[in-house]
Amino acid sequence: MGIGPINPSRRRAVFLDRDGVLNRAVVRDGKPYPPDSVAALEIPPGVPGALRDLKAAGFLLVVVTNQPDVATGIQSRAVVEAIHGTLRAALPLDDIFVCYHQDSDRCGCRKPAPGLFQEAAERHGLYLRWCYMVGDRWRDVDAGHRAGCRTIFLDCGYRERAADNEPSARVTSLVEAVTWILQDAAKTVQ
C-alpha cells in the first residue's frame, strides 16, 4: 500500500533518531547510550551519502531525539547542543527537535509520544502520512506510528523490549533504510 501522490503544497520528511542512527550509540550491557562529548561522537561510514540521497529525492531531514540525561544531570545541555552543531556541520540536516525530559515528566514530546513530530510538521508544513521515521529503538517506532509516519526499525541488536507497533520495514543500517525509503516513495510518486 502506497502513501498516495505528493501534494506540492505539503512537504515530506524523513525523521531520524540521533544516537544509533546518525551516530554510533555507546552500548553497555546491551543498552544504547549517547556519546558523552563531541570527541566521542562517531558518524558511521555511509551516513553522509545516504542522507544526501534523501535530500536529492526532495526529503526534508529532521532529527527527533530524546536526551533525558540533561534532566537527570548526567549530561549538560551545552554538550548536547555542541554534538548537534557537529552533526549539522557534517550532515545535510534541516532541523533538530529535542526532548530533554525523562519519563516521569510525562511530557508530550518524549518519544514514544508524537509531540516532536507534530511540532516539526507545524514548523515545516509536513504531511506526516507522507513522512518516514528511522529509529533504532522501540520508542522511535511507536512514536513514528503514533504520528502517522511509515516506520523503519534499524536493528542494532539491543537487549530491550520490542515496539508495540510493527515497523513498515526492518533494516541493519541507515544506508539500507534509505534504499527502502527511496523504493517505497518511488511507488507512490509518478
Mind listing the pLDDT tens digit for each residue in 110-120? 999 999 999 99
Task: Single out the catalytic residue among 19, 136, 140, 142.
Answer: 19
Nearest in space to 152 (alpha carbons), one of 190, 126, 178, 127:
178
Catalytic residue among 17, 69, 136, 142: 17
Catalytic residue list contains 19: yes
Q: What is the pTM of this model?
A: 0.93
Q: Which CATH superfamily is domain 13-188 in?
A: HAD superfamily/HAD-like (3.40.50.1000)
Judge whether 29 counts as a catalytic residue: no
Residue 68 has pLDDT above 90, yes or no: yes
Q: What is the C-alpha to C-alpha distance for residues 108 and 70, in angstroms, rounded to an integer? A: 17
